[in-house]
């Protein structure tokens, strides 16, 4: 499935900003199941320095330095991505305890090995209550895929999607206690549970294909960024994505932007500015499947292709 | 250990009878623990000769002298030294110094030094692999998961060649002597080893307390080690004459004063994260003369906190973009962020094999037997043995967790044991099992009794320019007051001891004197960092404000005591003084009309009041404490005396005379402080900022006094009081025989350029200071502070005293306040031109 993506972030500042240094993680990551066909970053004002490199978790990062005085900063990322996850029914996977043992034995220190995603992190501490919650899905000898699917299903069932209940800084223990939150909270909770049992799990940021309600046109900028979990299921199976917000195993509807230990490793924009005043933030996202592109108003699609 | 290893052959000292008796008593009452090696007594129960030599000489001091010598030296060093903390006495350094050093002979020391040197090389080599091509992991020598659990595994620096060519500048190992007599490594310090500054302090105390003994015993000097440390850092720079900074987490850090002391001793700039900026791939210090390149950072901030942009984004201690600068080779940060990964206990068990593999050598000094539970066989062993200690495999785990510190398996309750085993099943990689180490003992002197105490020794290695390591002949030794010799019970230790390595030949007297030819003569210490300028300026202001408040209190007290000058007895003057004190924040508003003694008491001692003398003095001391490295020992001691005068609980002010006495003695110390600043401080920018703070505060205060007391309806009482407050009584009386009159008084306190207390005098002094400071503009325009000042000084120069009414004084005061803001904006970190750095809001 081929998608056209547009991700536009606008910062408006109360007073003039004389200097900004940002790390952007807005370029989709290429992998065996995802081909990145085109990417483009448009930044206004134009940065005085811009360099790209591969980040510590395999993500594409772009560092920009802006020293033109400005009162608004617009960062717009465009890309075209082909997602091609092999379809078919998943088996149950190897017993989860054996996967845990393999994770500790790995000789892969790289970002796609399991070793970096085994331990608690700043945003994903070990919370005994969450570990015990996860434990119910992991009876002895159960296949790791089956067990993780079960945990994902239970989170979808037991938690309420509620954007007002949490914000970007809410610790997982709090969201777990109120059983409410958004995709970020559910992903963090699932990761805490899996790591609490010694399994390797990573946080994935990206986009989800949305289907407009029947008979209605797609609204411009109405899509959103999304987050889910990827679980290491052994060297042969590799990483499998689980989306606890929607209770679906990740296939061609999910487009990966970046993955890391938790949200702080993949935040699309990290930055500091020299400025005394307030700032406001607006984000617009479009995720458009290729077959819909030609149906759209020319102005809307033209920008992307 | 075999007796023949105990070296230098020292003749037993000839003691006088009292000394001999004392030595006999010490040795008789000294009780080593059976089966535990002791430093004083060898395995056959005989005292080692170098210890006997030391204790003999010590016993020979006349009764009571050891303690008094030692206390005197300690107090002196403490007052001037590194141990003073900012936030209250309870936080003061927790370890008293043992009057007896740990004494090691050269044979013993050679083994320790060789072991630590090898280990430092090993650490450097392992880091080079982990952050380099990663063969140790790929080939199975270290499991990847034994590395990734450390918060100090800094992934963004994998594959980055370390600027300056190495990871470690300073390494330390914690050592203990095991029951077999060998030295064992308890743990490694590769992040940013602390304690070297404390050892410097301990050495100062002991060498001062027993100077002749120290010289007679041929104690190896510490200075060459620190010289090597400095040269090593300098060699990591690109430029020939590099600016080296010590990057500190700031005054809230537990070891801040050790860091400040080291910075001063080594001649480095002490900087916090927001003193630094990264531009175009280079790091710079913000100074009053603009951005100046920082070539090398000796890092005391934990790795995860050094760059909020790429690492922990919650960090307030770091420098955004620092990792980018490191990657580009624009700044050397040592130890390189990420070096701390080797502090993990998980790795200890792998080191003997790594040593063979990487260095082709056997490990010279063993480390505590350690089993990482991430491996099945090791886990099974830890589960099956009840005699082990268990500990977190990695630093930085949640501290509320009962298993976040080492525990003895045998100490766990049945419930805790079950909990531990479950945790071990869930997350085996989080734990290690360790052999329980037993420590040896050394003598400590308590109440003139010599007792055996368990100890741990930290030994330091500094990288030298040629790529080797030099070992500090000495170390940071901590002793426990408990007789439990299991290392795990040691905690942070109760006392520290100096460490003497005894040479068998006389040691060369060296200090940090560089080779004559290498030294470039310079008269100024480089550019003053903006933060230091800010602190000095405010120190000046606080001291001056304290002085003005004291003068108000003095007038308050004398008004009631001075029978001759019944002048001030009128309730009106009293209430004017109280109003001024209230205005100042030295008294609260309800105090108007209280008795003079009560008002004096509050204005002096009320630590709730923002403008009371005690509050101002404490602020002054805190401000000074955060730039301890810039103040002379005398200046600091006086500041402490100043504060001590207000901490004495026995001091009760029962009469105006008591209050007056305290005011007078405090004013004397303040006078001594300003005398010191005038006579002893280098006339560099630092002195100028201190003096500018003082001048601007004094000018503002003079305006305030004048407005309150020399207004249109002022009485002669008011004018008299004003002359008292600005200390111009004598000058006035000498100059004007006619008595008090409005215009000459106004002229004398406001406009007279010859009266060092007048506002005009302060303004002209400020003008000289600003003219001498660097300018950031090259377009011929005046900088804002100079512009404000030029207008003000011209007005003062041309004004006539008859025109100086309340409005004019008010206008002067306003200009002075704008001047203060303009100075802050131009020179200080928090000024308007140095806009705050803020984070972009998240979730895009």
| Min distance A112 CA to chain B CA atoms (Å) | 12
Taking every pair of C-alpha atoms in chain A, what is the biggest distance, in angstroms? 61
pLDDT of residue B563: 45
Q: Inform me whether the pLDDT recorded for B88 exceeds 50.
A: no
Closest in B394, B835, B844 to A268, CB measured: B844
Peptide bond into A45 cis (omega under 30): yes
B144:A131 CB<8 A: no
| Min distance A231 CA to chain B CA atoms (Å) | 16
Q: Is the CB of A219 inside 8 Å of chain B's CB atoms?
A: no
Q: Which of B518, B836, B536 is nearest to B681 (CA)?
A: B536
Sign of CA dihedral A94, A97, A103, A105: negative
Sign of CA dihedral B63, B69, B72, B78: negative
Measure the CA angle with vertex B440, ends B439 and B441; round to 5°. 120
Q: Inform me whether the pLDDT recorded for B581 exceeds 70.
A: yes
Q: Please answer whether residues B160 and B307 qualify as being in contact, where contact means their C-beta atoms are separated by less than 8 angstroms.
A: no
Q: Inform me whether the pLDDT recorded for B7 exceeds 70.
A: no
Enclosing H/E stretch for B768: helix B759-772
pLDDT of residue B67: 81
- Percent of chain B clearing pLDDT 90 (strictly above): 54
| Min distance B80 CA to chain A CA atoms (Å) | 39
pLDDT of residue B484: 78
Written out in words, the top-level CATH class of the domain with range A96-266 is alpha beta
Q: Please answer whether residues B148 and A115 qualify as being in contact, where contact means their C-beta atoms are separated by less than 8 angstroms.
A: yes
A269:B144 CB<8 A: no
Q: Is the CB of A275 inside 8 Å of chain B's CB atoms?
A: yes
**Mean of the pLDDT values across residues B166-189?**
93
- Distance CA(B419)–CA(B400), nearest Å, equals 15
Q: What is the 3-state secondary structure (H, E, C) of B261-273?
A: HHHHHHCCEEECH
Number of H helices, E strands in chain B: 27, 21
Q: Which residue of chain B is at minimal alpha-carbon distance from A168?
A: B843
Per-residue pLDDT tens for B187-217? Answer: 999 999 999 988 988 898 888 888 888 888 9
A272:B426 CB<8 A: no
- Distance CA(B349)–CA(B102), nearest Å, equals 29
Q: Please answer whether residues B141 and B320 qualify as being in contact, where contact means their C-beta atoms are separated by less than 8 angstroms.
A: no
Q: Is the CB of A269 inside 8 Å of chain B's CB atoms?
A: yes
Q: Is the CB of A289 inside 8 Å of chain B's CB atoms?
A: no
**Mean of the pLDDT values across residues B101-105?**
96
Helices B759-772, B685-709: inter-axial angle, 10-degree rounding: 160
- Distance CA(B362)–CA(B356), nearest Å, equals 6
Q: Which of B721, B683, B258 is nearest to B496 (CA)?
A: B258
List B residues 421-480 in contact with A (Cβ-Cβ < 8 A).
Answer: 426-430
Q: Is the CB of B400 inside 8 Å of chain A's CB atoms?
A: no
Question: ipTM above 0.90?
Answer: yes
- Distance CA(B371)–CA(A84), nearest Å, equals 44
Q: Which of B444, B438, B434, B446 is nearest to B477 (CA)?
A: B444
Alpha helical stretches, state H, B305-365:
322-327, 351-359
- Distance CA(B202)–CA(B207), nearest Å, equals 9
Q: Please answer whether residues B498 and B203 qualify as being in contact, where contact means their C-beta atoms are separated by less than 8 angstroms.
A: yes
Strand, coil or helix: B29: helix
Enclosing H/E stretch for A279: strand A279-289
| pLDDT-wise least confident of B2-11, B199-208, B483-492, B507-516 | B2-11
| pLDDT-wise least confident of A228-232, B104-108, B169-173 | B104-108
From first to last of its 305 residues, chain A has per-residue pLDDT tens of: 899 999 999 999 988 888 899 999 999 989 989 999 999 999 999 999 999 999 999 999 999 999 888 999 999 999 999 999 877 677 889 999 999 999 999 999 999 999 999 999 889 999 999 999 999 999 999 999 999 999 999 999 999 999 999 988 899 999 999 999 999 999 999 999 999 999 999 999 999 988 877 777 777 777 889 999 999 999 999 999 999 999 999 988 999 999 999 999 999 998 888 877 788 999 999 999 987 776 655 444 333 33
Q: Is the CB of A105 inside 8 Å of chain B's CB atoms?
A: yes
**Mean of the pLDDT values across residues B458-479?**
95
pLDDT of residue B481: 83
Q: Which of A105, A84, A89, A113 is nearest to A3 (CA)?
A: A84
Strand partners, B441: B38, B454
* B160: Cα within 13 Å, side-chain hemisphere: 27
Per-residue pLDDT tens for B681-727? Answer: 877 888 999 999 999 999 999 999 999 998 888 888 889 999 999 99
Enclosing H/E stretch for B231: helix B223-235
Chain A residues close to B841, C-beta within 8 Å: 279, 281
Q: Strand B495-497 vs strand B476-479: parallel, antiparallel, or unpaired?
A: antiparallel
This prediction has a pTM of 0.87
B398:A119 CB<8 A: no
Give, as one character, the DSSP assignment of residue B754: T
- Distance CA(B5)–CA(B111), nearest Å, equals 12
| pLDDT-wise least confident of B53-67, B98-112, B563-577, B659-673 | B563-577
Q: Give the contacts of B595 (CB within 8 A, at least 6 positions apart).
A: none
Q: Please answer whether residues B748 and B758 qualify as being in contact, where contact means their C-beta atoms are separated by less than 8 angstroms.
A: yes
pLDDT of residue B560: 62
List B residues 112-141 in contact with A (Cβ-Cβ < 8 A).
Answer: 130, 134, 137-140
Strand partners, B496: B97, B478
Per-residue pLDDT tens for B759-785? Answer: 999 999 999 999 999 888 777 788 889
Q: Which residue of chain B is at minimal alpha-carbon distance from A284?
A: B844
| Min distance B611 CA to chain A CA atoms (Å) | 29
How is B88-106 classified by DSSP, letter by letter?
-GGGS-S-PBPSS-EEEEH
- Distance CA(B474)–CA(B497), nearest Å, equals 10
A271:B429 CB<8 A: no
Q: Inform me whether the pLDDT recorded for B670 exceeds 80.
A: yes
Token pair, residue B340, equals: 């701390």
C-alpha distance across the termini of chain B, in Å: 67
pLDDT of residue B518: 53
Closest in B144, B308, B394 to A109, CB measured: B144
Per-residue pLDDT tens for B527-536? Answer: 888 889 999 9
Neighbours of B52 (CB within 10 A): 18
Chain B residues close to A7, C-beta within 8 Å: 844
Which residue reads 């089956």 in tokens?
A: A146
Strand partners, B451: B444
Closest in A120, A125, A198 to B428, CB measured: A198
Per-residue pLDDT tens for B716-757? Answer: 888 999 999 999 988 899 888 888 899 999 999 999 999 999
| Backbone φ/ψ region at B618: left (φ over 0), alpha (ψ -120 to 50), beta | alpha
Per-residue pLDDT tens for B311-330? Answer: 988 888 899 999 999 999 99
Closest in A57, A125, A276 to B836, CB measured: A276
Q: What is the b/e burial string over B494-516, where b = at least 16 CB atoms within 10 angstroms of the residue's CB?
A: bbbbbbbbbbeeebeeeeeeeee
Taking every pair of C-alpha atoms in chain B, what is the biggest distance, in angstroms? 102
Instruction: Give ranges for CATH 3.10.620.30 in chain A.
Output: 96-266
**What is the rounded average pLDDT for all residues in chain B?**
87
A267:B313 CB<8 A: yes
Instruction: Give ranges for CATH 2.60.40.2250 in chain A.
Output: 2-84+267-302
A21:B321 CB<8 A: yes
- Distance CA(B612)–CA(B604), nearest Å, equals 6
B144:A107 CB<8 A: yes
Closest in A11, A109, A114 to B137, CB measured: A109
Number of H helices, E strands in chain A: 8, 15
Strand, coil or helix: B417: helix
Q: Which of B307, B435, B328 is nearest to B371 (CA)?
A: B435
- Distance CA(B35)–CA(A17), nearest Å, equals 70
Q: Which of B424, B500, B22 is nearest to B214 (CA)?
A: B500
Per-residue pLDDT tens for B584-610? Answer: 888 888 877 778 888 888 999 988 899
Closest in B155, B278, B320 to A56, CB measured: B155
How is B699-723 classified by DSSP, letter by letter?
HHHHHHHHHHHSSTT--HHHHHHHH
| Min distance A48 CA to chain B CA atoms (Å) | 10
Beta strands in B307-382 (DSSP E): 332-334, 370-372
Chain B residues close to A261, C-beta within 8 Å: none
CATH match of A2-84+267-302 with 2.60.40.2250: yes
Closest in B158, B313, B398 to A270, CB measured: B313
Enclosing H/E stretch for A160: strand A160-161
- Distance CA(B772)–CA(B690), nearest Å, equals 14
**Where do the domains of chain B lie?**
3-91, 102-345+453-507, 370-434, 531-681, 690-833
Q: Which of B576, B581, B620 is nearest to B600 (CA)?
A: B581
Q: Is the CB of A18 inside 8 Å of chain B's CB atoms?
A: yes
Q: Inform me whether the pLDDT recorded for B39 exceeds 50.
A: yes
């Amino acid at each position: 499935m081929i998608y056209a993506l547009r991700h536009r972030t606008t910062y408006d500042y109360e007073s003039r900003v004389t200097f900004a240094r940002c790390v952007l993680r807005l370029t989709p990551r290429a992998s065996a199941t995802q081909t990145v066909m085109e990417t483009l970053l448009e930044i206004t004002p134009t940065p005085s320095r811009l360099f790209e490199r591969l980040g510590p978790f395999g993500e594409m990062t772009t560092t920009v330095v802006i020293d033109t005085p400005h009162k608004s900063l617009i960062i717009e990322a465009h890309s075209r991505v082909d997602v091609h996850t092999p379809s078919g029914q998943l088996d149950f996977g190897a017993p989860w305890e054996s996967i845990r043992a393999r994770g500790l034995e790995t000789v892969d220190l790289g970002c796609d090995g399991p070793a970096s995603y085994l331990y608690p992190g700043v945003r994903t501490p070990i919370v005994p209550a969450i570990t015990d919650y996860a434990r119910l899905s992991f009876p002895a000898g159960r296949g790791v895929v089956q067990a993780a699917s079960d945990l994902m299903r239970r989170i979808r069932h037991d938690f309420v999607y509620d954007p007002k209940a949490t914000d970007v800084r809410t610790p997982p223990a709090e969201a777990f206690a109120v059983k409410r939150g958004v995709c970020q909270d559910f992903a963090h909770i699932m990761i805490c549970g899996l790591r609490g049992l010694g399994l390797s799990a990573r946080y994935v940021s990206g986009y989800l294909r949305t289907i407009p309600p029947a008979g209605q046109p797609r609204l411009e900028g109405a899509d959103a960024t999304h987050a889910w979990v990827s679980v290491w299921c052994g060297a042969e199976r590799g990483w499998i994505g689980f989306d606890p917000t929607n209770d679906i195993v990740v296939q061609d509807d999910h487009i990966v932007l970046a993955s890391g230990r938790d949200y702080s490793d993949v935040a699309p924009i990290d930055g500091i500015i020299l400025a005394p005043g307030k700032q406001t933030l607006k984000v617009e996202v479009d995720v458009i499947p290729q077959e819909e592109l030609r149906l759209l108003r020319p102005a809307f699609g033209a920008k992307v292709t | 250990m075999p007796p023949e290893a105990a070296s230098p052959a020292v003749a037993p000292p000839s003691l006088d009878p009292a000394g001999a008796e004392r030595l006999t008593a010490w040795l008789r009452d000294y009780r080593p623990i059976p089966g535990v090696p002791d430093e004083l007594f060898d395995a056959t129960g005989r005292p080692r000769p170098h210890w006997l030599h030391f204790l003999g000489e010590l016993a020979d001091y006349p009764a009571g002298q050891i303690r008094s010598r030692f206390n005197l030296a300690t107090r002196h060093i403490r007052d001037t030294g590194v141990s003073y903390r900012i936030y209250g006495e309870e936080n003061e350094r927790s370890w008293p110094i043992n009057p007896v050093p740990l004494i090691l002979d050269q044979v013993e020391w050679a083994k320790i030094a060789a072991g630590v040197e090898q280990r430092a090389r090993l650490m450097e080599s392992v880091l080079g692999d982990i952050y380099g091509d990663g063969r140790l992991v790929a080939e199975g020598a270290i499991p990847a998961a034994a590395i990734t659990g450390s918060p100090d595994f800094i992934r963004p620096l994998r594959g980055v060649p370390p600027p300056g060519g190495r990871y470690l500048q300073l390494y330390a190992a914690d050592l203990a002597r095991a029951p077999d007599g060998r030295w064992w490594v308890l743990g490694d310090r590769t992040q940013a080893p602390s304690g070297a500054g404390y050892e410097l302090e301990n050495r100062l105390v002991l060498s001062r307390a027993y100077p002749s003994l120290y010289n007679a015993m041929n104690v190896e000097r510490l200075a060459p080690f620190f010289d090597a440390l400095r040269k090593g850092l300098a060699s990591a720079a690109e430029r020939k004459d590099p600016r080296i900074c010590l990057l500190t987490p700031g005054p809230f850090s537990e070891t801040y004063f050790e860091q400040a002391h080291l910075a001063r001793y080594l001649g480095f700039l002490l900087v916090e994260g927001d003193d630094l900026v990264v531009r175009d791939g280079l790091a710079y210090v913000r100074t009053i003369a603009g951005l100046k390149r920082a070539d090398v950072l000796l890092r005391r901030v934990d790795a995860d906190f050094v760059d909020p942009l790429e690492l922990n984004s919650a960090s307030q201690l770091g420098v955004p973009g620092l990792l980018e600068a490191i990657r580009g080779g624009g700044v050397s940060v040592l130890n390189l962020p990420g070096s701390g990964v080797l502090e993990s206990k998980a790795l200890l068990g792998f080191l003997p094999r790594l040593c063979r593999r990487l260095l082709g050598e056997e490990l010279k000094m063993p480390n505590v037997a350690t089993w990482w539970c991430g491996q099945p066989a090791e886990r099974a062993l830890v589960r099956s043995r009840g005699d082990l200690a268990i500990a977190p495999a990695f630093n930085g785990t949640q501290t509320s967790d009962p298993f976040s510190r080492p525990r003895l398996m045998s100490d766990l309750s049945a419930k805790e044991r079950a909990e531990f085993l479950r945790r071990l099943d869930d997350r085996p990689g989080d734990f290690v099992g360790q052999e329980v180490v037993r420590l040896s003992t050394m003598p400590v002197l308590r109440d003139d009794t010599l007792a055996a105490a368990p100890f741990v020794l930290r030994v330091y290695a500094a990288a030298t320019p040629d790529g080797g390591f030099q070992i500090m002949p000495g170390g940071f030794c901590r002793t426990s007051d408990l007789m439990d010799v299991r290392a795990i019970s040691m905690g942070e230790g109760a006392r520290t001891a100096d460490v003497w390595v005894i040479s068998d030949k006389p040691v060369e007297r060296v200090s940090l004197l560089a080779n004559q030819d290498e030294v470039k003569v310079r008269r100024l210490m480089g550019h003053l960092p903006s933060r230091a300028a800010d602190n000095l300026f405010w120190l000046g202001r606080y001291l001056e404000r304290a002085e003005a408040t004291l003068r108000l209190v003095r007038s308050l007290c004398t008004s009631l005591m001075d029978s001759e000058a019944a002048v001030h007895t009128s309730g009106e003057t009293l209430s004017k003084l109280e109003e001024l004190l209230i205005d100042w924040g030295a008294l609260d508003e309800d105090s108007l009309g209280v008795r003079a003694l009560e008002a004096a008491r509050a204005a002096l001692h009320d630590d709730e009041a923002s403008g009371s003398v005690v509050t101002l003095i404490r602020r002054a001391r805190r401000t000074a404490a955060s730039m301890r490295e810039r103040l002379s020992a005398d200046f600091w001691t006086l500041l402490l005396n100043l504060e001590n005068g207000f901490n004495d609980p026995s001091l009760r002010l029962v009469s105006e005379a008591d209050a007056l006495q305290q005011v007078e003695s405090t004013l004397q110390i303040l006078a001594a402080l300003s005398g010191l600043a005038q006579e002893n401080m280098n006339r560099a920018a630092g002195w100028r900022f201190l003096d500018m703070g003082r001048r601007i505060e004094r000018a503002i205060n003079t305006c305030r006094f004048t407005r309150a007391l020399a207004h249109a309806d002022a009485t002669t009482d008011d004018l008299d009081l004003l002359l008292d407050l600005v200390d111009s009584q004598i000058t006035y009386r000498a100059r004007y025989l006619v008595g008090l009159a409005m215009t000459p008084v106004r002229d004398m306190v406001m406009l007279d350029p010859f009266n060092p207390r007048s506002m005009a005098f302060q303004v002209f002094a400020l003008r000289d200071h600003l003219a001498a400071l660097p300018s950031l503009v090259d377009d011929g325009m005046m900088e804002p502070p100079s512009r404000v000042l030029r207008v003000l000084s011209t007005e003062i120069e041309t004004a006539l005293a008859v025109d100086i009414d309340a409005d004019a004084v008010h206008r002067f005061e306003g200009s002075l306040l704008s001047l203060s803001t303009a100075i802050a904006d131009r020179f200080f970190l928090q000024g308007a031109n140095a806009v705050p750095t803020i984070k972009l809001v998240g979730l895009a």
